[in-house]
């Protein structure tokens, strides 16, 4: 599958994500950068709603899956996410996610053998000035489809 | 402010929450029950998207704030949330949130004195059969407005 198809998967497959206007900034092997606009995601005080910030972090795990793992073999699920809201997000925000090729191969090998394998991600959601608005720590899992 | 106005605040103030179709089932002193429909919130495999489940838990904290605290004095923020996805949500889901009057008074007194006070909530998001789909543990804060 091409990267264009992966980008469409990330941006449009889940209707509520599409309504948030989440976009792929960059998607390449073992790396993704995503952007969430403030416009569709404001809360009662005009900053980005917590649930939209969470979704940006959660989708980052799915984007990394597409960037790193063999989607003809595995499916991703999210098991657990912890998010800390450090400061209000008053601009569009972005998140970057990456994994080393060694980790991709190690996790894939476990999942090939055992049918599933967990992977953990520690992410920072940053505003336009580079300030960290949220810290996201989560566990995702790949499973043989 | 009346309960009808509080219900409108919960359901319609944040546009992306309104798009999720989140509804108040019951709102009374120190208690709220909220419902998230599956229809607007499906993911790529037809179950409720993780970000929508998170939002249901997050809004529960805001709903409890309206049900329990003096909103002419305090404002609520969410500081941190941990969510565990135990099983897929294949139906509409609900969450209940409550606080004892003693805790409401204790937390209000701290915030009156110190300008802010944290409160923690442990929540279960349940499907129509009563199965727990997600476990949410979070810290919210009330601040003098």
CB contact under 8 A, A84 and B82: no
Residue with tokens 């060694």, as numbered in its chain: A102
Give contacts of B15 with chain A, Cβ < 8 Å: 40-42
CB contact under 8 A, A16 and B44: no
The answer, as to whether pTM is greater than 0.90, is yes
CB contact under 8 A, A82 and B79: no
Closest in A19, A58, A85 to B19, CB measured: A19
Prediction ipTM score: 0.96
CB contact under 8 A, B44 and A78: no
Residue with tokens 């909530």, as numbered in its chain: B121
User: How far is residue A11's CA from residue A29's CA, in Å, rounded to a whole number?
Assistant: 18
Q: What is the pLDDT of residues B30-55, one digit of tens each?
A: 999 999 999 999 998 999 999 999 99
Best B9, B16, B71 member to test A by mutation, with max A CBs in 10 Å, is: B16
Q: Residue B62: which of B114, B113, B105, B121 has the closest Cα?
A: B121
User: How far is residue B110's CA from residue B103's CA, in Å, rounded to a whole number?
Assistant: 11
User: How far is residue A37's CA from residue A47's CA, in Å, rounded to a whole number?
Assistant: 11
Is pLDDT at A1 greater than 70 in this prediction?
Answer: no
The 10 Å CB-count burial string (b at 16+, else e) for A21-54 is bbebeebeeeebbbebbbebbbbeeebbbbbbbb
- Walk along chain B (145 residues) and give the pLDDT tens digit of each residue: 568 999 999 999 999 999 999 999 999 999 999 999 999 999 989 999 999 999 999 999 999 999 999 999 999 999 999 999 999 999 999 999 999 999 999 999 999 999 999 999 999 999 999 999 999 999 999 999 8
């Amino acid at each position: 599958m091409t990267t264009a198809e992966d980008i469409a998967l990330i941006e449009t497959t889940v209707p509520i994500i599409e309504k948030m206007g989440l976009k792929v900034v960059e998607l390449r092997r073992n790396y993704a950068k995503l952007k969430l606009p403030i416009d569709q995601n404001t809360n009662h005080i005009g900053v980005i709603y917590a649930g939209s910030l969470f979704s940006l972090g959660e989708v980052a795990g799915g984007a990394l899956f597409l960037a790193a793992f063999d989607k003809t073999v595995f499916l991703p699920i999210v098991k657990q996410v912890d998010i800390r809201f450090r400061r209000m997000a008053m601009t569009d925000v972005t998140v970057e996610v990456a994994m080393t090729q060694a980790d991709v191969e190690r996790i894939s090998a476990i999942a090939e053998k055992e049918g599933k394998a967990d992977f953990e991600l520690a992410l920072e959601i940053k505003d336009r000035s580079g300030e960290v608005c949220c810290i996201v720590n989560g566990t995702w899992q790949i499973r043989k489809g």
